[in-house]
């Protein structure tokens, strides 16, 4: 096994170490003293979404949650898949990674594994996350890395002009595509069953599950913030209407209700029941359905490193030396 850490330490004298520690402390103090505002999280790219798109609300709420936490944009990475929602990272002043359709979660997990100090946020649509990318969700959940996953659910494929998605209600006929294209499913409506994505994620064992609505800006910023604060995989179901292809603003304004004030966020079975019942009742509840802290993948990896390397650091060189 390589002696990289020991050799590095030997090379560094005590006065130099003190100087480095002083510089690190100074950099930390400067970081703390910088009070950021919303505009620090706006990129130079103006959003290209249709007027009235719910995604504007999600973007504003995320920027507000980042500003309230005064996070350094250089420490934030937003990873997205493909869809109108997938454009979000371009509009935020932070690192962004716009990957292929349905693969936001694998990429986000790789970023977090490579640098656990980063705040990693994955964003995408209902199609990106629960059609093509649906197989990745349970595995990201069971890994429980400290990642916030915001699913911007408009119950439709927005980018590709109005096809039904896994969260489109069964029987839905009112999907207007464009003046030159016919209505989607004009005869019997959508034939497939609708996935209950909130219930699915709770059943998968997710450590934080919440729902919020893009028309309720303050509440959405608060909920996304709670997801960011949660040490583990946080799922935020951000209902975000697509007024161009499936305008749900009016019905959703009627059907959004806060969870009861005395809601017990520690009861997974009750959370599943609530997520199932509300479908029949025709309502959406907003707030934190479930939250519990489990050890994260990063914590568990530290234990593996400790067993494998003892006091030595796990470095690529040390790993390569094992195969030399």
Ligand X SMILES: Cc1ncc(C[n+]2csc(CCOP(=O)(O)OP(=O)(O)O)c2C)c(N)n1
Q: Considering the complex, what minimum distance in angstroms separates the CB of residue 230 from Mg ion?
A: 24
HEC profile of 121-165: EEEEEHHHHHHHCCCHHHHHHHHCCCEEEEEEECCCECCCCCECC
Q: Of the listed pieces 39-47, 56-64, 126-134, 137-145, which binds ligand X according to CB under 6 A? A: 126-134
**166 belongs to the binding site for ligand X (CB under 6 A):** no
Going residue by residue from 15 to 54, which x/- string records binding to ligand SF4, judged by CB under 6 A?
A: ----------------------------------xx--x-
Rounded Cα distance between 209 and 206, Å, is 7
Rounded Cα distance between 111 and 91, Å, is 20
Which position among 67, 78, 126, 285 is part of the footprint of ligand X (CB under 6 A)?
A: 126
Q: Considering the complex, what minimum distance in angstroms separates the CB of residue 53 from ligand X?
A: 9
Name the closest residue to Mg ion (Cβ): 125
Residues β-bridged to residue 125? 152
Strand pairing class (95-98; 119-125): unpaired
How many other C-beta atoms lie within 10 A of the C-beta of residue 75?
14
| CB closer to ligand SF4 out of 53 and 226 | 53
| CB closer to ligand SF4 out of 63 and 296 | 63
Q: Of the listed pieces 154-162, 167-175, 221-229, 290-298, which binds ligand SF4 according to CB under 6 A? A: 154-162
Rounded Cα distance between 64 and 222, Å, is 9
Rounded Cα distance between 283 and 277, Å, is 9
Contact of residue 272 among ligand SF4, ligand X, Mg ion, none (CB under 5-8 Å per partner type):
none
Quote the DSSP letter at residue 42.
B
Asked whether the beta carbons of 267 and 296 are under 8 A apart, the reply is no
**278 belongs to the binding site for ligand X (CB under 6 A):** no
Which position among 41, 55, 228, 275 is part of the footprint of ligand SF4 (CB under 6 A)?
A: 55
Residues near ligand SF4 (CB under 6 A), total: 12
**83 belongs to the binding site for ligand X (CB under 6 A):** yes
Q: Which of residues 216-245 bind ligand SF4 (CB under 6 A)?
A: 242-245
**91 belongs to the binding site for ligand X (CB under 6 A):** no
Sign, CA dihedral 162-160-195-259, equals: negative
Contact of residue 160 among ligand X, Mg ion, ligand SF4, none (CB under 5-8 Å per partner type):
ligand X
Q: Which two tokens stand for residue 298?
A: 């990063």
Angle value at C-alpha 133, between 131 and 139, nearest 5 degrees: 125
Q: What is the CA radius of gyration of the chain?
A: 22
Contact of residue 128 among ligand X, Mg ion, ligand SF4, none (CB under 5-8 Å per partner type):
ligand X
Strand pairing class (284-291; 256-258): parallel
Q: Considering the complex, what minimum distance in angstroms separates the CB of residue 111 from ligand X?
A: 20
Tokens 């964003």 belong to 123
Q: Which of residues 173-212 bind ligand SF4 (CB under 6 A)?
A: none
Q: Considering the complex, what minimum distance in angstroms separates the CB of residue 194 from ligand X?
A: 14
- Residues forming contacts to ligand X in the complex (CB under 6 A) are 82-85, 101, 124-128, 132, 152, 154, 156-160, 165
């Amino acid at each position: 096994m390589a002696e990289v850490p020991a050799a590095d330490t030997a090379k560094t004298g005590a006065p130099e170490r003190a100087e480095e520690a002083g510089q690190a402390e100074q950099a930390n103090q400067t970081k703390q003293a910088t009070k950021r505002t919303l505009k620090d999280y706006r990129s130079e790219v103006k959003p290209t979404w249709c007027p009235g798109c719910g995604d504007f609300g999600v973007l504003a709420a995320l920027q507000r949650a980042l500003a309230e936490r005064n996070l350094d944009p250089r420490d934030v990475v937003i990873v997205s898949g493909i869809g109108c929602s997938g454009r979000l990272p371009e509009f935020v002043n932070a690192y962004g990674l716009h990957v292929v359709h349905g693969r936001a979660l694998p990429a986000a997990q790789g970023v977090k594994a490579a640098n656990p100090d980063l705040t990693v946020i994955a964003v995408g649509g209902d199609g990106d996350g629960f059609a093509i990318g649906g197989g990745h969700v349970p595995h990201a959940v069971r890994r429980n890395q400290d990642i916030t996953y915001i699913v911007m659910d408009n119950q439709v494929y927005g980018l590709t002009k109005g096809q039904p998605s896994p969260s489109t209600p069964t029987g839905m006929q009112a999907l207007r595509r464009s003046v030159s294209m016919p209505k989607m499913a004009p005869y019997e409506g959508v034939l497939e069953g609708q996935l209950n994505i909130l219930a699915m994620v709770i059943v998968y064992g997710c450590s934080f599950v919440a729902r919020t609505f893009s028309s309720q800006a303050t509440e959405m910023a608060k909920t996304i913030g709670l997801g960011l604060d949660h040490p583990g995989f946080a799922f935020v179901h951000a209902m975000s209407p697509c007024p161009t292809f499936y305008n749900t603003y009016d019905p959703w304004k009627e059907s959004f209700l806060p969870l009861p004030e005395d809601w017990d966020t520690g009861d997974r079975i009750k959370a599943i029941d609530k997520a199932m019942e509300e479908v029949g009742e025709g309502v959406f509840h907003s707030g934190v359905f479930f939250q519990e802290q489990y050890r994260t993948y990063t914590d568990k990896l530290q234990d593996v490193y400790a067993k494998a390397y003892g006091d030595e650091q796990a470095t690529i060189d040390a790993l390569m030396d094992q195969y030399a």
